[in-house]
Amino acid sequence: MVGTDSTEPTGGQTSQDFDGWAEFERRHSTTQNGEARAVLVDIESYQDMQNAFSLMKILQLSERQIAAGNFKSAEQVFSEIEARLGI
């Protein structure tokens, strides 16, 4: 089963629990029968992970384009820029 991101409001005691936790920890894992079942991360860490995943996707697409021969050498790119600028 593929998970999706979800956001739900918290209230009462749960919200207070997060206040103390967020100051000192950035990740918290929950286990069941000694096996990791869930990970709770603060929003900054989550955003950092999402940004890293986005960069990895861009790199993966770039590698595919290079493998398919869809690229120009740096020399060719600079020559085209110089030609456009009349240098």
Query: Considering just the CA atoms, what is the radius of gyration of the chain in Å?
Result: 23
Q: What is the largest CA-CA distance in the chain?
A: 70
- Cα(36)–Cα(28) distance, rounded to whole angstroms? 10
Tokens of 83: 């030609």
According to the model, what pLDDT value does residue 80 have? 96
Domain identity same for 54 and 21? no
Domain identity same for 22 and 55? no
- Please state the separation of Cα 46 from the chain's center in Å: 8
Domain identity same for 61 and 22? no
Each residue's pLDDT tens digit, 27-77: 778 888 888 888 888 888 899 999 999 999 999 999 999 999 999 999 999
* Better pLDDT: 15 or 56: 56
Q: Give residue for tokens 């206040």.
A: 19
According to the model, what pLDDT value does residue 62 have? 96
In a domain, 2, yes or no: no
Q: With 50 as the cut, is the pLDDT of residue 85 above it?
A: yes
In a domain, 6, yes or no: no
According to the model, what pLDDT value does residue 67 have? 97
Domain identity same for 31 and 69? no
Domain identity same for 24 and 60? no
Residue 75 belongs to domain spanning? 43-87
| Total tally of structural domains belonging to the chain | 2
In a domain, 33, yes or no: yes
Domain identity same for 74 and 47? yes
